[in-house]
Structure 1
């Protein structure tokens, strides 16, 4: 009887201790999943706009042209030139592909328009009876231009320095207007113009930075050689046009 009572007491004590023991036991907690943030990539099609400033170099033998056309005059003087400069704006579209080693290969085409101009003013004087004076100006304008280029860069996460080069084109217009005076009285006036789309090459570089996964900003310099345009065949006057551009742009990457 004593043994039976002892066993019953032990079982009861164990039953009372079980809830407390269960409360002290710790259970493994499943860790919360870690969010995966993909690395930024430059791969994709992009579209954007730009604003910049350009300065040209229109090398031409204008002195030879003026002396040829005013060979019988006592004096010919000129000032100014044919180095058009000014602001421009435009748009660009392109595609980048980022390799595993962070090299970025791509291509871009852009179209730009603006008001890049320069003027050469001249005076020709023939002293006599009567005295003849002719005043004229030759305007050189780059009305629009564009490029089709390859790009090679190296991705530093969201920062992309690159070099670029390819084909270039430009709409160049040269126009002349003049007034002739006899003893101070207007005797004649006239003018001529020529425009052509010139093709050449371009080379440059820039930097681009991704401010978000879709929006990027860039700064770029290009040297553009457009070749020459014949102005006057009789005096063998050709205008050899090159230009430099510095622009800032913004792109949206799809």
Structure 2
């Protein structure tokens, strides 16, 4: 009988301890916490879209406009497309001029420009090439002709919709409207524009 009691006790203790071996009586281990970093969002402006603004600057001339320098001011509008780090766009600008010497006065220029630049985030550095149409008075006679314009510029995104910048352009007109004179002018303008 003693042998039977011992056998029953051994079997009972094995039955009670079996769940502990199977893991049923122990507390579950929590899963480790996995942290996923937030996606990196590029800082800067998206230069895609239409814009319009005004410019105020200074110009100085050469050739028929030698020793002529004075204020310039005007309006412009255009469209840019941001390809990531490369920006391409076009712009139309009307520029009024006070540049004159004793015999020659540059009245105004209309410039059609192609802009290609590098996106540095909130700053856009670009080059310009295009055509310029100018009206000038040389020796008391009015002339108008088409020439080339080229140069560099930089825009800074002050806000999502407001840009401020500077543009330096050279404008060359060979044999200006058969007047017998070449005409060239360099313009430096501070620009403010609104993007929409």
Q: TM-score range by the shorter chain?
A: 0.7 to 0.9
CA distance in 2, matches of 1:145, 1:58: 17
Structure 1: distance between partners of 2:161 and 2:109: 27
Matched residues, number: 156
Q: How many angstroms apart in 1 are the aligned matches of 2:67 and 2:92?
A: 25
User: Residue 85 of structure 1: CA displacement?
Assistant: 1.7
Residue matched to 1:105? 88
3-state SS in 2 of match to 1:118? coil
- Other-structure match for 1:172: 136
Report if aligned partners of 1:168, 1:199 keep a CA contact under 8 Å in 2. Answer: yes
Deviating above 4 A after TM superposition, structure 1's stretches of 4 or more consecutive aligned residues are 36-39
Where does 1:1-254 land on structure 2 (aligned, <5 Å)? Answer: 40-59=45-64, 82-100=66-84, 102-119=85-102, 139-175=103-139, 193-229=140-176, 230-231=178-179, 238-254=180-196
> Residue 83 of structure 1 contacts residue 140 of structure 1 at CA under 8 Å; is this kept in 2?
no
Deviation of residue 82 (structure 1)? 4.3
C-alpha RMSD of matched pairs (Å): 1.9
Q: For 1:58 and 1:216, how far apart are their aligned partners in 2?
A: 34
- TM-score scaled to structure 1, two decimals? 0.58
Corresponding position of 2:19: none
1:162-217 alpha-carbon deviations (Å, 9 max, x no partner): 00111011101023xxxxxxxxxxxxxxxxx2111111101100111000000000
For each residue in 1:59-96, what CA deviation from the matched residue of structure 2 results, as whole angstroms up to 9, or x when unmatched? 4xxxxxxxxxxxxxxxxxxxxx7442210100000100
Give, in whole Å, the separation in 1 of the partners of 2:41 and 2:161: 15
Q: Look up the SS of the partner of 2:98 in the other structure.
A: strand
For structure 2, the residue ranges without an aligned partner over 5 or more in a row are: 1-37
Determine the structure 2 residue equivalent to 1:30.
none
